[in-house]
Structure 1
């Protein structure tokens, strides 16, 4: 009995080391071949199927059993949006990465696909020749396949693996509680938080150092998000209620051009308040949503006694443009202790350095918790920085922000 259990656990360990299984669905034979070659050069990824339309993918999904599907939008016979729900129905918990060129129509379809169950998207260059030479497209695609495929496998490797993953998440979440918050008070020296965060990281302890919420009523809400962000943004902002009109809302969501335009328009329709891509030099107003345009960093500055938006195309930060860090840094400089920041689901650590600026000036930071995040990269890095006042499930963030904007700190 013990021998069988040991063999099963050992087998699970080997299983966890197996490459992430990828299905490629694209009507272009060149693109299918290109992505396949890229994947084959990565030891932790493998191609298990390649199809030229959605119908073939649906028919093969159970046999190939991929961890993740790269799904083109425009294909003959059956397009990606039609195939998406059929794929998800046939394989529970499947991770689907939509792929499309940067047209307005494709951006709208990609965002709709996210609402229908796709996990994320990747923007393809406009032409095949550009795809062949685009290092950014390759890097983004491989990074997302690696991270999202691994998350899918961790949840789908059988009862024992799932229990182990849940236990690991519980041990690394904030105190194994549904939410973790500090009590309101004045600002704390961030050096103390940094020292404690280092101790936590070194010891592998489950709790994170939390700072008290600022005693100042927020005069701005600034949000950073990436993978899973469009859905998370809608949940948070819809949950704030009427107090959303008390402050300007500045958002950096990792998205390419056109996609950010559609996102801003969508948020405006959902929230019933003005929402648009930020424009360089425009005055920032309460009750308005400003989204960083794809390809531009969004910052704020003071001019003639007013706060204005500034845009620039300085080099990417954390491989991102727009990046959350410069937005957080500038907002903290302008609004100080009246800054309220939220870090939502996303890969990487963008925004974590900006939390030091916010905490150092007495502002407040809330991070989405691990269980409710599609990927606990960005919010996890913020939580581990020691600069957060709360680590909350997605569904609780909006109501907490509402209370803070109304001056209710308890």
Structure 2
């Protein structure tokens, strides 16, 4: 057994103390690599480096990590088995699942999200490839830092405790410490929408499944196009989950296929999805261009392309996610006469993307996740307030 432990956190923590990260992976190479990355960051520290899920469960109360990076495939106790035990012992632990890009691991990662994992991150097949390792490093540090914000929120004097993730529900939202300025909302566009475009990232899979399960009548009338920040294989699984949740056809989009009402089109991992005119109709256009907003697929290319096809008859929904992807495209949709709805902070896992849109003053509504579907239906029925 290979176990490396840092000293336990003191009971009186402050928001200025570094995030304590527990690395759980049976690969000594991966543990060493991630440890070096974490220790190089001024706001993070390696609290423990462990080989198995059993080690993580046994040492959790001593280590007191804020964030756990949990591998899926490990001896003695794998990640998916260790996850509920870890959350039972430490209610507010932020768990990020890590796995290689296989269909089995993608399925397990989706299950982990439903059990309370905050997010997942795909591990490159080889860390010897510089570009793959750098993308992995960037994504990992971003997820640890952003999702760990809830720990700093909890550490503030007088802050309300963050609720523990519940089984089959999204993890507790990440809140921001600073008081936000009042959100300025604008009127909905005058044109009845003829397409629904959706962008999401961290927390998006669960949010999307909840949303599409209540969008049936809208999906029957118009096409629904979704960009979720997600790698290949994972998007294949997500499309299957969306089909079951909506009881409507949903799949990864195929380059050149026609866009029709009654279907959900999901941008495939690793490719941007756009819509282009084709005579009187419209087709899907996929491209392998550079990342946009550090993402591929990205939301902005989809949003902007929708304007060329549907002009002012576009309704965009921006769900939970890191960063600001979708805000620029949302601005252009509004400038063309369309409308934008954003998920509110309280129901978002990370209020990055929807928060950027809301704070930019481009949203006609900022709503809890469970109110978005009904609002969308009313907008497609002609409501303009």
Q: 2-side partners of 1:54 and 1:168: how far apart? A: 31
- Provide Cα deviations, 1:44-103, integer angstroms capped at 9, x if missing partner: 110001111111101111211111100000001000000111111111121110000011
Residues 141, 305 of structure 1: alpha-carbon distance in 2 compared, 3 angstrom cutoff: same
- The correspondence for 1:392, drawn from 367, 373, 380, is 367
Aligned counterpart, 1:62: 61
Q: SS where residue 95 of structure 2 aligns?
A: strand
- Provide Cα deviations, 1:89-131, integer angstroms capped at 9, x if missing partner: 1111211100000111111111111111111111101135348
- Cα deviation for residue 161 of structure 1 reads 3.1
Q: 1-side partners of 2:311 and 2:64: how far apart? A: 51
- Cα deviation for residue 243 of structure 1 reads 2.7
Aligned counterpart, 1:230: 205
Contact map agreement 2:24 2:53 (CA 8 A) in 1: yes
- Provide Cα deviations, 1:364-406, integer angstroms capped at 9, x if missing partner: 1001111111111100101111111001111111111111122
Q: SS where residue 292 of structure 2 aligns?
A: coil
Q: 2-side partners of 1:144 and 1:24: how far apart? A: 14
Aligned counterpart, 2:112: 113
Alignment of 1:50-199 (within 5 A): 50-130=49-129, 134-154=133-153, 156-157=154-155, 160-162=158-160, 171-172=179-180
Aligned counterpart, 1:331: 306
- The correspondence for 2:291, drawn from 288, 302, 316, is 316
TM-score in terms of structure 2 length: 0.90
Residues 160, 33 of structure 1: alpha-carbon distance in 2 compared, 3 angstrom cutoff: same
Aligned counterpart, 1:33: 32
Q: Does 1:216 align with 2:216?
A: no
- Cα deviation for residue 236 of structure 1 reads 1.4
Q: 1-side partners of 2:94 and 2:21: how far apart? A: 10
Aligned counterpart, 2:8: none
Q: 1-side partners of 2:310 and 2:64: how far apart? A: 50
Q: Does 1:281 align with 2:295?
A: no
Residues 331, 261 of structure 1: alpha-carbon distance in 2 compared, 3 angstrom cutoff: same
Q: 2-side partners of 1:86 and 1:313: how far apart? A: 41
- The correspondence for 2:354, drawn from 379, 382, 399, is 379
Contact map agreement 2:253 2:268 (CA 8 A) in 1: yes
Residues 168, 298 of structure 1: alpha-carbon distance in 2 compared, 3 angstrom cutoff: closer
- Cα deviation for residue 358 of structure 1 reads 0.3
Contact map agreement 2:312 2:337 (CA 8 A) in 1: yes
TM-score in terms of structure 1 length: 0.85
- The correspondence for 1:266, drawn from 238, 241, 248, is 241
Aligned counterpart, 1:185: none
Q: SS where residue 311 of structure 2 aligns?
A: helix
> Which protein has the larger Cα radius of gyration, Structure 1 or Structure 2?
1
Q: 1-side partners of 2:176 and 2:328: how far apart? A: 25
Q: 1-side partners of 2:78 and 2:177: how far apart? A: 36
- Cα deviation for residue 159 of structure 1 reads 6.0
Consecutive unaligned residues of structure 2, counting only runs of 5 or more, are 1-10, 163-172
Residues 40, 316 of structure 1: alpha-carbon distance in 2 compared, 3 angstrom cutoff: same
Contact map agreement 1:243 1:406 (CA 8 A) in 2: no
Aligned counterpart, 1:355: 330
Q: SS where residue 160 of structure 1 aligns?
A: coil
Residues 370, 170 of structure 1: alpha-carbon distance in 2 compared, 3 angstrom cutoff: farther
Residues 392, 284 of structure 1: alpha-carbon distance in 2 compared, 3 angstrom cutoff: same
Alignment of 1:15-26 (within 5 A): 15-26=14-25
Contact map agreement 1:368 1:394 (CA 8 A) in 2: yes
Q: Does 1:47 align with 2:38?
A: no
- Cα deviation for residue 241 of structure 1 reads 3.7
Contact map agreement 1:21 1:149 (CA 8 A) in 2: no
- Cα deviation for residue 277 of structure 1 reads 0.5
The count of aligned residue pairs is 365
| Larger relative helix fraction | 1
Deviates more, 1:223-232 or 1:60-69: 60-69
